[in-house]
Amino acid sequence: MPVFLLRQNDIVRDYWHKRFKHILVDEYQDTNRTQYELIKLITAGNTEPKKFFNWEDRSIFVVGDADQSIYSFRAADFRILIGFQEDFKTSIKDDTKSSLIKLEENYRSSSNILDAANSLIENNSERIEKVLKATKEKGELLTLLSCDDEISEAEAITNKIKSLNNYNQNPIWKNFAILYRTRAQSRVLEESLVRWRIPYTIFGGLRFYDRREIKDAIAYLKVLVNSSDNVSLLRIINVPRRGIGKTTIQKLNELSNRLNIPLWEVLNDKQSLEETIGRSSKGINKFTEVMNDLLCYLENSGPAQLLQLILEKSGYLSDLLSSGTEESEDRRNNLQELINAATQYEEETESGDVEGFLSTAALTTDNDTKKNNPNSVTLMTLHNSKGLEFQNVFITGLEQGLFPSHRSIDTPSLLEEERRLCYVGITRAKERVFLSHARERRLWGGMREATIPSIFLSEIPEDLMDGELPQTGGASIKRDWHLDRLTRVDRNNPNEFVNKPINAVRKLYSGPSKGKSWIVGDMLIHSKFGKGEIIHIFGSGEKISLAVKFGDKGSKILDPRLAPIRYVS
């Protein structure tokens, strides 16, 4: 609105142009186009900056770093910073270079950390060239933790934090930060820290089991196990939205209290509903039908399968897929990780029942670990880490499709932003950087898939990194790893993926022929589960998930952009 006002009203624009003669903009790389227009209107009035000559007693000064532009999803455009000198070139009286001051001395990180960061970011083409120079000594090499899976990755990180703190009589947990690309990755890290009684804080977000979508899914499980759990029942009765209003719920609650019978029994009595709330009973009936359908699976299903059924039959998953926002994608990833947690529970316990899983989830959210403790390990996304610093930094999940994300792998501009994100993560560290990746990671529905180490690992010089075998998880990667192995992945079948470069692996994930798309009834072959048939498709366009029935191996939900599947005509 201020931009519209300044464009349309000469008096207002002239007033603010005269009012502000010297303008300073910080974090200029995060400017969006609207903010840029505002800056131009205040600086040069109604004149294009290139044609504005009245710079007497006027100035504009911007500060920014194109290599730290990581907010394109908020419409930030780092090209505005890159084009600054061209945009305001009439204000430069002398040599163009005199208007650009590079701040290359770095007082935070050791020389080895900065050399690694410089080598990484040099692979970006769209940037203002600069080289960070350390005022500190070389310091320690960056450490690579190569792990069997995400569980051993979490344990390796926890063990490393513990061992480094053994030097201190009183542990200084606040010296450690664990960074990850997606919020869902925090789950296994949190569980490992809780297991070893290490205090931690989630920066800029909630703990895994405190997140809204996780509480919703857990509430569904609780009601299926115990229909008298009114708190959980009221949480999910209109989630996702079924047109059940607050007034309707209040009437049902009053009826339940008046008759002294559980709310669930009130909801299940269609005749009472008709008499009490009339046409409003339609949404209630839809909800009870879903829950009664799910109850049929309770006795013979483990928590992982039951969670999948809940998300499908309740419409929760399709609701997230249809919105197509960054937030919904984030929430979907968290729900995927909840299913992974349930699958892990089934593998690690003899009974593997729903009640036991709910008890385990409750223990993980022990109130003792929630107390605000200033001396705690910090967990956060890489985006949230910008502007912060720590003695020791762990960057986790350095795998193709995770970091860099699957959305960016085939798009150069998006891949460059992911590289800037990695650069930001590395330069948060003062003394030590630990880079970790898992050779296998559990995907949606509890499936394990072999991974490929991130391309970013191959862009850091070998002489700046020290490979290290983790202490837990039985990882089989040799201690004497070589840089060329970072673009390879070992598999049992020598014909799959081995000796193929990173960008070739996607060619093995082949779908229908060009111009066609997946449809219900299509047959495909999965590298692990064999032949399957598509029975349902969630979402639309590129953002779809496939529900595939694999004979005796059951049904799985797959992301066709990541799953190792091949179309069968």
Average pLDDT of the residues in 112-127: 96
Is residue 364 a part of any domain in this protein?
no
Q: Is the same domain home to 219 and 320?
A: yes
Is residue 494 a part of any domain in this protein?
yes
Question: Does the pLDDT of residue 504 top 60, yes or no?
Answer: no
Q: Give the residue from 324, 354, 384 where a domain finishes.
A: 354
pLDDT band at residue 496 under the 50/70/90 scheme:
very low
- Range picked from 69-83, 440-454, 512-526 for highest mean pLDDT: 69-83
CA dihedral 492→347→184→188, nearest 10 degrees, is: -100
Q: How many domains does one find in the chain?
A: 4
Average pLDDT of the residues in 67-92: 86
What CATH number is given to the structural domain containing 275? 1.10.486.10
Q: Is the separation of the CB atoms in 112 and 85 below 8 Å?
A: no
The strand pairing partners of 23, in sequence order, are 60
Q: Is the same domain home to 496 and 425?
A: yes
In the chain, % of residues over pLDDT 90: 52
- What are 184-223's pLDDT values in tens digits? 999 999 999 999 999 999 998 899 999 999 999 999 999 9
Q: Is the same domain home to 79 and 119?
A: no
Tell me, what's the pLDDT at 548? Answer: 82
Question: Does the pLDDT of residue 156 top 90, yes or no?
Answer: yes
- What are 231-286's pLDDT values in tens digits? 999 999 999 998 888 888 888 888 788 777 788 888 887 776 777 777 777 888 89
Is residue 438 a part of any domain in this protein?
yes
Q: Is the same domain home to 489 and 382?
A: yes
Tell me, what's the pLDDT at 366? Answer: 61
Q: How many CA atoms lie within 13 A of 125 on its CB side?
A: 4
Tell me, what's the pLDDT at 485? Answer: 31
Spatial separation of the C-alpha atoms in residues 112 and 127, rounded to whole Å: 22
Is residue 509 a part of any domain in this protein?
no
pLDDT band at residue 444 under the 50/70/90 scheme:
low
Is residue 360 a part of any domain in this protein?
no
Tell me, what's the pLDDT at 483? Answer: 31
Question: Does the pLDDT of residue 400 top 70, yes or no?
Answer: yes
> Tokens 């009490």 — which residue?
276
Tell me, what's the pLDDT at 8? Answer: 94
Average pLDDT of the residues in 533-539: 77
Q: Is the same domain home to 185 and 140?
A: yes
Q: Is the separation of the CB atoms in 443 and 433 below 8 Å?
A: no
Q: Is the same domain home to 155 and 240?
A: no
Spatial separation of the C-alpha atoms in residues 303 and 341, rounded to whole Å: 9
- What are 282-306's pLDDT values in tens digits? 888 899 999 999 999 988 888 999 9
Q: Is the same domain home to 415 and 284?
A: no
Token couple for 502: 């990173």
Is residue 332 a part of any domain in this protein?
yes
Question: Does the pLDDT of residue 473 top 80, yes or no?
Answer: no
Question: Does the pLDDT of residue 164 top 70, yes or no?
Answer: yes
Q: Is the same domain home to 322 and 403?
A: no
> Tokens 């630990």 — which residue?
434
Q: What is the 3-state secondary structure (H, E, C) of 33-66?
A: HHHHHHHHHHHHCCCCHHHCCCCCCCEEEECCCH
Task: Read off the pTM.
Answer: 0.76
At residue 366, φ and ψ (nearest 5 deg) are: -50, 130
What CATH number is given to the structural domain containing 69? 3.40.50.300
Question: Positive or negative CA dihedral for 61, 66, 67, 70?
Answer: positive
Q: Is the same domain home to 126 and 26?
A: no
Tell me, what's the pLDDT at 491? Answer: 33
Spatial separation of the C-alpha atoms in residues 126 and 265, rounded to whole Å: 63
> Tokens 């070589």 — which residue?
482
Tell me, what's the pLDDT at 208? Answer: 92
Alpha carbon distance, N-terminus to C-terminus of the chain: 55
Q: Is the same domain home to 202 and 223?
A: no
Question: Does the pLDDT of residue 109 top 90, yes or no?
Answer: yes
Question: Does the pLDDT of residue 514 top 70, yes or no?
Answer: no
Mean pLDDT, the chain, whole residue set? 84
pLDDT band at residue 350 under the 50/70/90 scheme:
confident
Is residue 359 a part of any domain in this protein?
no
Tell me, what's the pLDDT at 347? Answer: 84
Domain of residue 78: give its range: 2-99
Q: Is the same domain home to 347 and 395?
A: no
In the chain, % of residues over pLDDT 70: 86
Q: Which residues contact 147 (CB under 8 A, 6 or more apart)?
A: 153, 156, 436, 437, 438, 439, 470, 473, 475
Burial degree of 438 (CB within 10 A; 0-12, 13-18, 19+): buried
Is residue 456 a part of any domain in this protein?
yes
Q: Is the same domain home to 343 and 240?
A: yes
> Tokens 């770095």 — which residue?
106
Q: Give the residue from 72, 99, 126 where a domain finishes.
A: 99
Tell me, what's the pLDDT at 71? Answer: 92
